[in-house]
């Protein structure tokens, strides 16, 4: 008498299994449909991935540009691949339809879709030197145009080795260098505030140190020295700022140059120049933030790059005769 109910239960179980299989198949088919490349694809689609950009934000941009069918599936896949901390920032070029799996892998491995152009910007590079560096890599970028765009940003373009796409614009390059500067300077913000000086003042001082002194240890000493000269109302008398104005090295400066009345001439004007005179590196910025206290008021560098410090002007003149005049 229990045969009929048992048969019904078996039938219901079979039906539930069948429905489960159908649902799984439908879900799988749907997933792979949305994971497959879109049928309509525009040749060479560009996607800019920013440092720290969220996975979902990237996935939505990929969907909006027709690179993936579904942003949520793309985001879920990248989360599954633990891509949040692995995605490489940069400009990506998609030249053909690719599955969401391939797209996700490219983002994680930094496969930008081109052979990048390596651009090395040394620490202490000024806007004129940077313009020449970029023009050598991108001849279509006029040096004069680059200089006009770079000069207002002096000090805020982080010196580093960059890898740019062949089709990069000057705006792309400038933005990347600015973003890198912001990223590298952010951990120092509390120290800058504690120093009692503005970021602009720190960068101006650091740019001088970068040009004047070769080692971090000496830069920290010179930073304190220059700050105390200003506190005493003494002019900084730094050759590098006058060199920035005239384009001359220290050995080329004449007495006439020293008398030029210009805000970049720290022989005739007291205080810091109005802007940084180069783009300093991180260690030099740190030296400007945290100088080493000392009693020196004068310094000079000999032909071997060794810095000689003096507490009095008479001692400084002795070093000048010994290490500069007799060379």
> Domain with 100 in it: what CATH number?
3.30.1490.480
178/279 same-domain check: no
Q: Is residue 174 part of a domain?
A: yes
Please tell me the predicted confidence (pLDDT) of residue 213: 94
- Domain C-terminal end among 185, 220, 244: 185
Range of the domain at 303: 199-325
Q: Is residue 67 part of a domain?
A: yes
216/312 same-domain check: yes
If phi over 0 gives left and psi between -120 and 50 gives alpha, with beta otherwise, what is residue 229?
alpha
- Domain C-terminal end among 88, 109, 130: 109
Mean pLDDT of the chain: 87
285/303 same-domain check: yes
Please tell me the predicted confidence (pLDDT) of residue 202: 98
Instruction: Over range 275-294, report the average pLDDT.
Output: 97
Q: Is residue 3 part of a domain?
A: no
205/311 same-domain check: yes
Burial 259-289 (b: 16+ CB within 10 A, else e): ebeeebbbbebeebbebbbbbbbbebbbbbb
254/308 same-domain check: yes
Instruction: Over range 182-197, report the average pLDDT.
Output: 96
| pLDDT at residue 278 tops 70 | yes
Please tell me the predicted confidence (pLDDT) of residue 30: 43
136/225 same-domain check: no
168/265 same-domain check: no
Please tell me the predicted confidence (pLDDT) of residue 89: 86
Number of Cβ within 10 Å of residue 104's Cβ equals 27
Q: Is residue 98 part of a domain?
A: yes
- Domain C-terminal end among 153, 185, 217: 185
Instruction: Over range 232-261, report the average pLDDT.
Output: 90
206/246 same-domain check: yes
146/167 same-domain check: yes
Angle between helices 100-109 and 3-35 (to 10 degrees): 50
Confidence band of 39 (pLDDT split at 50, 70, 90): low
Q: Is residue 256 part of a domain?
A: yes
Q: How far apart are CA 305 and CA 215, in angstroms?
A: 9
Count: domains in the chain: 3
216/272 same-domain check: yes
Q: Which of 158-162, 220-224, 246-250 has the weakest average pLDDT?
A: 246-250
Q: Is residue 25 part of a domain?
A: no
pTM of the predicted model as reported, rounded to 2 decimal places: 0.80
Instruction: Over range 296-321, report the average pLDDT.
Output: 92
96/139 same-domain check: no
Instruction: Over range 34-42, report the average pLDDT.
Output: 57
213/307 same-domain check: yes
Please tell me the predicted confidence (pLDDT) of residue 4: 59
What share of the chain in percent tops pLDDT 90? Answer: 62
Q: Which of 6-20, 115-129, 275-289 has the weakest average pLDDT?
A: 6-20
| pLDDT at residue 172 tops 50 | yes
Q: How far apart are CA 300 and CA 137, in angstroms?
A: 36
| pLDDT at residue 17 tops 80 | no
Q: Tell the residue number behind the tokens 């969220």, with chain if given.
A: 54
């Amino acid at each position: 008498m229990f045969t009929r109910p048992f048969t019904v239960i078996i039938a219901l179980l079979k039906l539930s299994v069948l429905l489960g299989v159908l649902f799984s198949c439908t879900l799988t088919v749907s997933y792979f449909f949305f994971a497959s490349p879109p049928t309509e694809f525009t040749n060479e689609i560009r996607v800019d991935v920013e440092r720290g950009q969220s996975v979902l934000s990237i996935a939505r941009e990929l969907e909006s540009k027709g690179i993936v069918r579904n942003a949520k599936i793309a985001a879920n896949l990248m989360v599954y691949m633990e891509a949040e901390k692995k995605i490489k920032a940069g400009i990506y070029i998609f030249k053909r339809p690719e599955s969401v799996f391939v797209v996700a892998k490219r983002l994680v491995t930094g496969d930008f879709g081109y052979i990048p152009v390596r651009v090395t910007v040394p620490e202490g590079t000024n806007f004129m030197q940077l313009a020449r560096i970029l023009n050598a890599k991108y001849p279509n970028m006029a040096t004069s145009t680059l200089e006009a765009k770079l000069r207002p940003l002096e000090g805020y373009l982080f010196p580093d080795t960059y890898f740019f796409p062949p089709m990069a614009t000057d705006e792309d390059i400038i933005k990347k260098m600015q973003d890198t500067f912001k990223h590298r300077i952010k951990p120092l913000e509390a120290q800058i505030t504690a120093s009692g000086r503005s970021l602009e003042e720190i960068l101006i001082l650091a740019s001088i140190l970068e040009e004047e002194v070769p080692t971090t240890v000496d830069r920290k000493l010179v930073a304190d020295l220059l700050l105390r000269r200003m506190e005493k109302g003494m002019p900084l008398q730094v050759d590098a700022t006058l060199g920035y104005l005239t384009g001359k090295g220290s050995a080329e400066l004449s007495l006439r140059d020293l008398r030029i009345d210009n805000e970049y001439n720290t022989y005739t004007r007291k205080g810091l120049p109005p802007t940084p005179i180069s783009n300093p590196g991180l260690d030099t910025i740190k030296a400007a933030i945290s100088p080493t206290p000392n009693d020196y008021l004068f310094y000079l560098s000999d032909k071997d790059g060794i810095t000689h410090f003096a507490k009095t002007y008479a001692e400084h003149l002795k070093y000048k005769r010994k290490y500069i005049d007799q060379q």
